[in-house]
Structure 1
Amino acid sequence: MEKSISSNAYQQLVDWLKESRESKGWSMRDLGERIGEPHTFVQKVESMERRIDVCELVQYCKALGQDPCIAIRIVQNAS
């Protein structure tokens, strides 16, 4: 299993998270406020400078109104 932050599976996950944010019309700052993080956290996740852990992923998904199980399926299907 590739653990690189630049893996195809992680790229697909990040793309989905970004698309979910953008579909709501939210800025990075908007999402950051909802998850209790600075907008730079969201920027680093979306630019793949920072990897998020599973707890952060669940929080991120909940803020976006997305089921975290979808995120796991994206990773599973890309692997």
Structure 2
Amino acid sequence: MEKSVYREENLVLLRLLKQCRVEAGLTQAHFAQVLERPQSFASDIERGLRRLDLVQLRDICTALNIGLVEFVQRFEDELALSKGAGE
């Protein structure tokens, strides 16, 4: 099994994280400020250089004003769309 950072699912996750940040009206700098982290933290997340655990993802969802369950559902929906487009 290939590493998760190289899988299509990870690309969907990164795209969705950025999309939610933009929908929340946050720049990377403001998003990082809300998380009380440096701007490079937000950049590293969106570029896939930083892996997230569930607690961090929950904090990110809170900062983006989206529930964790709603985020996961959107992720699953995006995966279904990307798999359908690839067939």
Matched with 1:50 is: 50
Taking structure 2 as the reference length, the TM-score comes to: 0.75
Larger relative contact order (Cα-Cα within 8 Å, sequence gap ≥ 6): 1
Contact 1:44–1:50 (Cα < 8 Å) also in 2: yes
Q: How far apart are 1:25 and its partner, in Å?
A: 2.5
Contact 2:21–2:27 (Cα < 8 Å) also in 1: yes
> After the TM superposition, which residues 1-79 of structure 1 pair with which residues of structure 2 at under 5 Å, given as runs?
3-73=3-73, 74-75=75-76, 78=79
Taking structure 1 as the reference length, the TM-score comes to: 0.82
Structure 2, unaligned stretches of length 5 or more?
81-87
Backbone CA RMSD of aligned residues = 2.2
Contact 2:24–2:65 (Cα < 8 Å) also in 1: no
In structure 1, C-alpha distance between the alignment counterparts of 2:24 and 2:50, rounded to whole Å = 23
